[in-house]
Amino acid sequence: MKSLYNILFLLLLLSFCTRCTGQTKNAVQSAQTPTQQITPVGGGCDGCDIMYIGMPKEIASVDTSVGWKEEGQKLLVTGFVYKRDGKTPAPDVVLYYYHTDHTGYYSKRNDKPENRTVHGHIRSWVKTDADGHYSFYTIRPAPYPGNNIPAHIHLIVKEPALNEYYIDELVFDDDPLLTGTKRKTLENRGGSGILRVLNAGDLQIAEHNIILGLNIPNYPEETKTEKQSGLQIGEDNPSFSPFHAWGPDKGTRTCPVCKYGRYHGIVYFVGNHPNWPDVKKWLSYLEQESIARNKYLKAYFVYGNNSNYTKERRQQELEQIGQELHLENIALTFVPAFSDTKSEVHLNKIDPEVENTFVIYRHRNIIDKFIDLKPTAENFKLISSTLDKTKGNYFDLPESGDD
């Protein structure tokens, strides 16, 4: 009988412990499982954690990589990081960069743990200053041996209050491996990653501005505006082929940014609701700006009214305006509609229902945009000051860490 009691006692104890263990496990699982899944900004970043290996406590806004002293084409990448509006400087943003050496390999070194990762030994960090500015001196990477992938520099962004995320790799406009097909696959994460280099002696210089959150999944800030028309600040102005009714390329379908993308450009889009008195005031202003800035500014008027469209009618309308205003520098162009795919004007994403859209670019990169802008003295000054502020001087450079 005593043995029977002992068996029953053990069974009860085992049952109790099993229930306790189950409750404890469920409680732990409940504590570990968040009530709402948190999706990382950027949608995930494979290998981004490597950026913290060897990261210094103090990071400067100007950096010189170890590659600077190695064989290869010397390169300076410099620019600004802006908040989502594309205009407000973003200080204290860490940019981690890494790339291949002059042979196309992520070559490793055994001197330090941070030089033995899959990112290779040419890797470093910069942190934007109070104006959002950064610069790094390195060498131009080589493409992977035997591969058709363009040479590139990887960039990972770490904002103060967000997780790290990757943006578009920096590629080179003059790289023959950067084909038209590959250009169309670029995501424009943080803006266009296409670098257009200038030569200053034995140094190549490339300006690259970054727009935080642009085309970044799950980014917490959104641009708040009542109207949307045109691509975003930080993206590249696309190639398209309007009909030139008046101006230096009259009678052709010259692509504006392809032929004149070297300096500043203004593309003035007007769609289905032209206010011709205002249009003429804008054209007169842009003519004067073009004269004053000479070859450093090219301005284009693009008319995209799809109402009662014929090529002959549009040609005649714009020729009359060119003659009336005595325009010599501005190109007056037109397309059947802003949705037209044959001319590829649709790539500009212009809303034909707004009164106008002004896109200002430099080296093909969009630096500002305005919608429904009236031809007032204040707005003329706004456009002029934008051009003045973004002229740039590649030869006023920050000093590298090494001679």
For position 197, which CATH number holds? 2.60.130.10
Mean of pLDDT values over 182-186: 92
Mean pLDDT of the chain: 87
Q: Are 209 and 365 in contact (CB under 8 A)?
A: yes
Would residue 33 count as lying in a domain? no
Domain boundary among 211, 235, 256: 211
Would residue 278 count as lying in a domain? yes
Q: Are 201 and 304 part of one and the same domain?
A: no
Q: Are 124 and 251 part of one and the same domain?
A: no
State the pLDDT at residue 224.
59
Q: Are 202 and 55 part of one and the same domain?
A: yes
Q: Are 207 and 341 part of one and the same domain?
A: no
Q: Determine the length of the chain.
A: 403
State the pLDDT at residue 166.
97
Q: Are 144 and 101 part of one and the same domain?
A: yes
Q: Which domain holds residue 329?
A: 243-389
Mean of pLDDT values over 229-237: 94
Residue 104 reports pLDDT greater than 80: yes
What's 315's domain CATH number? Answer: 3.40.30.10
Q: Which residues contact residue 320 at a Cβ distance below 8 angstroms, ignoring those fewer than 6 apart?
A: none
Q: Give the whole-angstrom CA distance, residue 195 versus residue 395.
A: 17
Confidence of residue 4 (pLDDT cuts 50, 70, 90): very low
Q: Are 55 and 197 part of one and the same domain?
A: yes
Cα 367 to Cα 110, 195, 208, 358, 359: the distances in Å are 43, 15, 11, 11, 8
Q: Are 60 and 169 part of one and the same domain?
A: yes
Q: Are 203 and 250 part of one and the same domain?
A: no
Q: Are 54 and 199 part of one and the same domain?
A: yes
Phi then psi dihedrals of residue 274, to 5 deg: -70, 130
Q: Give the whole-angstrom CA distance, residue 233 versus residue 230.
A: 9
Residue 326 reports pLDDT greater than 50: yes
In the Cβ-directed half-sphere of 175, how many Cα atoms lie within 13 Å? 23
Q: Give the whole-angstrom CA distance, residue 257 versus residue 238.
A: 7
Confidence of residue 5 (pLDDT cuts 50, 70, 90): very low
Would residue 202 count as lying in a domain? yes
Mean of pLDDT values over 290-307: 93
When mean pLDDT is compared across 35-49, 197-211, 244-258, the lowest value belongs to 35-49
Cα 363 to Cα 197, 207, 281: the distances in Å are 10, 9, 27
Residue 163 reports pLDDT greater than 50: yes
Q: Are 81 and 128 in contact (CB under 8 A)?
A: yes
Between 226 and 278, the higher pLDDT residue: 278
Mean of pLDDT values over 249-266: 87
Residue 261 reports pLDDT greater than 80: no
Q: Give the whole-angstrom CA distance, residue 210 versus residue 322.
A: 38
What is the value of pTM for the model shown? 0.80
Q: Are 336 and 381 part of one and the same domain?
A: yes
Would residue 12 count as lying in a domain? no
Q: Are 275 and 170 part of one and the same domain?
A: no
Structurally, how many domains does the chain consist of?
Answer: 2
State the pLDDT at residue 153.
98
Mean of pLDDT values over 292-310: 93
Q: Are 265 and 136 part of one and the same domain?
A: no
Phi then psi dihedrals of residue 301, to 5 deg: -100, 125
pLDDT tens-place string over residues 236-246: 999 999 999 99
Would residue 205 count as lying in a domain? yes
